[in-house]
Amino acid sequence: MSTCRTAMIILGASGDLAGRKLIPALRRLYEEGVFDASCAVIGSGRTAFDDDSFRRHLGAETDFASLLHYHQGLDGLREYVEALGTFDQTIVFFSLPPRVYADTAAALAQRGFGDRTRLIIEKPFGYDYDSARDLNRRLGAFFNEQHIYRIDHYLAKEAVRNILVFRFANSLFDPVWNSRYLESIQINACEEEGVGHRAQYFDGAGVIRDMVQNHLMQLLCLMTMEAPVSLDAEDIRAQKLAVLKSLKIEECRRGQYEGYREEEGVRPDSSTETYAEIRASINSFRWTGMPIFIRTGKAVHRKGTEIGVRFKSVPRLLFNEDGLVAPNRIVFKIQPAEGILLDLAGKDPGDETMRVTTMNMAFCYRSIFPGEIPEAYRKLLADAIRGDRTLFVSARETELSWKLLQPFLDKGDPVPYPRGALPESKLLKDWIDFDAYKSMCAS
What's the rounded Cα separation, in Å, for the pair 292 and 247?
10
What's the rounded Cα separation, in Å, for the pair 29 and 13?
18
Report angle CA 419, 420, 426 to the nearest 5 degrees.
80
What's the rounded Cα separation, in Å, for the pair 144 and 440?
45
What's the rounded Cα separation, in Å, for the pair 438 and 188?
13
236 close to 165: Cβ distance less than 8 angstroms:
no
Collect contacts of 412-416 with beta carbons under 8 A, ≥24 apart. Answer: 412/254, 413/271, 414/254, 414/255, 414/256, 414/271, 414/272, 414/273, 414/274, 414/275, 415/253, 415/254, 415/255, 415/256, 416/255, 416/256, 416/257, 416/258
- Annotated active-site residue in 69, 71, 153, 215: 215
215 belongs to the catalytic site: yes
What's the rounded Cα separation, in Å, for the pair 151 and 123?
7
Q: Which residues are catalytic?
A: 215
